[in-house]
Amino acid sequence: MMPLFFHQPGGRFASIFAVILCAMSVVMGSYVYSACQKASADYTTLISDILLAQQATPQLRAALEEGSRRPDSEHIEYIEYFTALSKQHLDNIQGSIERHRYLIADVEYLNSYFNKLNNHLVELAQQTREAQRRPELVEALQPTAMEIGASQVWLYNQLLEDVHTIASQQRLIMQRLSIAVSVLLVLMVSAATTLCLAVIYLRSQRTVMHQQLLTDELTGLYNRRHLVNVAFAAITQARRDQAPLSLMLLDIDHFKQVNDTYGHPTGDEVLRQISQQLRLLCRPSDTLARIGGEEFCLLMPNTATHDALQAADRLRREIEVNTLIGIDLHAHPTISIGVTTCQSGSLTFEQLYSFADKALYQAKALGRNRVESLLPPSAPSAYNDPQTYAQTFIHEPSDS
């Protein structure tokens, strides 16, 4: 069924459109996920680390100035403490940057400055430890401290500016994200709707195909195949319920003359209108099928011979008096009918059909536009497999 669906123009369009929508949904979903991750980044800790590092910078400079004036062990320890504190703040800032993967690319250009400042702090720490043994070296720390102070001020101000810029961009990202989510929802709904429509289309095509397998294209009545299947089930049910089952064959009289005189299009219209009349006159429990060119078959469950003959004569009279719409014929079409009945499902469908066909032949031989019946003998032939006869009947040519 699926290959048939893809061969239909509407099916191909629905499938391609659904695939495109699904692909767009995946791309849009990936963008939304990435934007959510970027927009939800919290830079509070990083900004706090930068502010603390900025506060430690003047403290280190003040400790160095005081140590230069009074190079005792106590002031040298202050220098060592604030040097270690500055190094700790620097490490914290670098750690915070590494935790924000969307921030790394934006501040990558500052890596060399971070490395340079880190080296200066390591060097200052070494010089401070040396000054603890030799206090006269404290004054030599000033050049390194000045360079560290300048580097810290520029680096932390630049980093803080970059972080504020990136944080301000989150508002724009959130706006784009809301638009992207809306588009994604529209795409998903469109894809779901398209797929639902495709499924509905497929089911409708399946129903149409199933209907075509069971019905006659011209008249809309059931065809031979469906009649055989229904007859097999009806015979089985009649045998189970010990109920009568009647079958009648109907043939339009002199139909070949209609085709020869008025043309096949007119003949087709005659078939359609008579089929519609027969359909309206049948009971809901009956099965009416077109089994040949102008030949019809009516299967009547739970119907005795007397009731079947009455129904057949009513059909014959209604067809005789009804006027065909839009068709100007010299005479109203008439039908001949052959009727037979089996009791308790004692016959196969092939046998029922044979008796009804003989009764129909007798009705034609006696002048047409009449009903004849032929009942099976009281001791019917041995029961054979109805499915075997069913296959024979499907391929059997019909009589005109």
32 neighbors 181 (Cβ within 8 angstroms):
yes
Q: Do domains 13-193 and 224-395 have the same CATH topology?
A: no
CA distance 43 to 215: 73
> How high does pLDDT run on average in the chain?
79
Q: Contact 237/345 with Cβ under 8 angstroms?
A: yes
| Range 224-395 has CATH code 1.10.3720.10 | no
For residues 349 and 393, the answer to whether their CB atoms sit within 8 Å is yes
Three-point CA angle 274, 336, 317, nearest 5°:
65
Answer for the pair 369, 333: CB distance below 8 angstroms, yes or no: no
Answer with the residue of higher pLDDT: 33 or 323. 323
Percentage of the residues of the chain whose pLDDT score is greater than 90: 33
Find how far residue 252's CA is from the centre of its chain: 49
Joined together, the tokens standing for residue 384 give: 């054979």
Look at residue 284 and tell me whether its pLDDT is greater than 70.
yes
Q: What gap in Å lies between CA 345 and CA 353, rounded to an integer?
A: 13
State the Cα angle at 113 between 109 and 116, rounded to 5°.
Answer: 145
| pLDDT (tens digit per residue) in 61-81 | 776 666 666 666 666 777 778
Q: Determine the average pLDDT of the residues in 88-109.
A: 81
pTM equals: 0.51
Tokens 């519609």 sit on residue: 276
204: left (phi over 0), alpha (psi -120 to 50) or beta: alpha
Q: Is the pLDDT of residue 281 over 50?
A: yes
For the chain, the domains span 13-193, 224-395
Question: Tokens 């019946």 correspond to what residue?
Answer: 373
CATH class of domain segment(s) 13-193 = mainly alpha
How far apart CA 249 and CA 262 sit, in angstroms, is 25
